[in-house]
Amino acid sequence: MEINNRTVRLLSQTNNFTDENLWSFLEENFDLKLKSKQFLLKNKFILLDYNIIKALKNNDVKEGDKIKVKTISKVLKSKNDNFKIGEYILGPGSVQDYYISSGENCEKFDIDKFNYSENEIFIGLENFNKAFKKLIELEYEKKIILKP
């Protein structure tokens, strides 16, 4: 099974974090072949916070790298007995539609208890640039939520 995965990557390193050309928006196809203990996740909420800025300032994100974030995702396929299809997971991910995990640093998440009313929400990966600018404008006081 092949998946079309919209992904945001760092295009160029700069100290101008509001630069329109900071990010690349790609559609990347990959063949879905889960290994033992892996599961496929679909990002439902991408949580943007100060850690992104910190990683950029420290040059921890290199050109072409995916942007690492916390995500709330739904399990679509699983070869991991601890994470079942349909469950929601809070864990490390990237600014993209889908990703494969082995469960490291992941925890089950009750989606019904997720309160995002105090956060700014942007719909669609295509609005990542706007969401990132809002994060800078708010001086990192709140998390920004991107809903793919």
**pLDDT confidence of residue 107:** 97
Contact assessment for residue 48 and residue 145, using Cβ atoms and an 8 Å cutoff:
yes
**pLDDT confidence of residue 68:** 93
**pLDDT confidence of residue 111:** 93
Q: How far is CA 97 from CA 40, 43, 93, 100, 110, in A?
A: 11, 5, 10, 11, 20
Mean pLDDT (whole number) for 47-69 = 91
Mean pLDDT (whole number) for 19-25 = 87
**pLDDT confidence of residue 101:** 96
pLDDT band at 41 (very low <50, low <70, confident <90, very high): very high
Mean pLDDT of the chain: 90
**pLDDT confidence of residue 140:** 58
pTM of the model: 0.90
pLDDT band at 144 (very low <50, low <70, confident <90, very high): confident
Give tens-digit pLDDT for 69-85.
Answer: 999 999 999 999 999 99
**pLDDT confidence of residue 16:** 82
Per-residue pLDDT for 142 more than 80?
no
Cβ neighbours of 88 (radius 10 Å): 19
**pLDDT confidence of residue 81:** 96
DSSP string across 46-80: EEE-HHHHHHHHTT-S-TT-B-EEEEEEEEEEES-
Contact assessment for residue 46 and residue 29, using Cβ atoms and an 8 Å cutoff:
no
